[in-house]
Chain A
Amino acid sequence: GNSVTQMEGPVTLSEEAFLTINCTYTATGYPSLFWYVQYPGEGLQLLLKATKADDKGSNKGFEATYRKETTSFHLEKGSVQVSDSAVYFCALPPGAGSYQLTFGKGTKLSVIP
């Protein structure tokens, strides 16, 4: 079945630092790939997505590239802000015989001024 392995945190960065959160996946075929973000006390929001190999998803300065050869979808941002402090989840859509999103364990990011 599908699985997601995500870099576990917590990660603490200074404002304007570069961010990378690693995500690798196991799945049949070439599924879409998602990054969700959860701000403190809130539900999950879709941050970005990619639907096929070599696609780059981007939103709010975050980027992630669908790498089929390494089965990876690493999240990056060149200059983080305090407002980016949140938990980030890498996720796969339902696979064959499944009806659930498969989430990584989440990476908590704290950005300090």
Chain B
Amino acid sequence: DAGVTQSPTHLIKTRGQHVTLRCSPISGHKSVSWYQQVLGQGPQFIFQYYEKEERGRGNFPDRFSARQFPNYSSELNVNALLLGDSALYLCASSLGGARVNTEAFFGQGTRLTVV
């Protein structure tokens, strides 16, 4: 079975540009979460989507947005990129909604570099 897949794996963008990152969850998983991991730090929560609705949002500016599609795949969009947005962006899928005590399965991540 395929795990969580993310694309692209690496990306270089210029300040001020826009970026779209994509994630396909494990088959049967309806919940997708996005995390930002800056080098040397733990992952920081950005969004969670469940059944195509936003269920949670972390402490990130409005430049960050996301959506989930009917097939449960998801996109993370970041506008007006800043140098500080350079990070590994991780997508995680899980079976149920946020309050279910289940583990999350992570993709390999998208390494975004803003120059």
Binding site for B on A (CB under 8 A): 31-32, 34, 36, 42-46, 49, 51, 89, 93-94, 96, 98-101, 103-106
Contacts and interface: CB of A to CB of B under 8 A. Distances in A.
Contacts of B101: 31-32, 51, 93
Chain B, interface size: which category? 20 to 34
A100 B45 CA distance: 6
A105 to B, nearest CB: 5
Contact of B103 (A34, A42, A43, A100): A34
Given A100-B56, A100-B58, A44 B98 contact: no
22 contacts: A31-B101, A32-B101, A43-B4, A43-B6, A43-B88, A43-B106, A43-B108, A44-B43, A46-B103, A46-B105, A89-B42, A93-B102, A94-B56, A94-B98, A99-B33, A99-B48, A99-B55, A99-B98, A100-B48, A101-B43, A101-B45, A105-B41
Interface of B: 4, 6, 33, 35, 41-43, 45, 48, 55-56, 58, 88, 90, 92, 98-99, 101-109
B42 A104 contact: yes
A93 B103 CA distance: 7
Contact of B90 (A34, A44, A99, A106): A44
A96 B99 CA distance: 7
A100 B50 CA distance: 12
Contacts of B33: 99-101
Q: Is the interface of A mostly helix, strand, loop or mixed?
A: loop
The 5 A-B pairs at the shortest CB distance, nearest first, are namely A99-B56, A100-B45, A99-B98, A103-B42, A44-B106
A43 B90 contact: yes
Contact of A105 (B6, B42, B88): B42
Nearest to A36: B106
Name the residue among A89, A96, A98, A100 with the largest chain B CB count within 10 angstroms: A100
Contacts of A34: 103
Contacts of B107: 43
A21 B45 CA distance: 23
A85 to B, nearest CB: 16
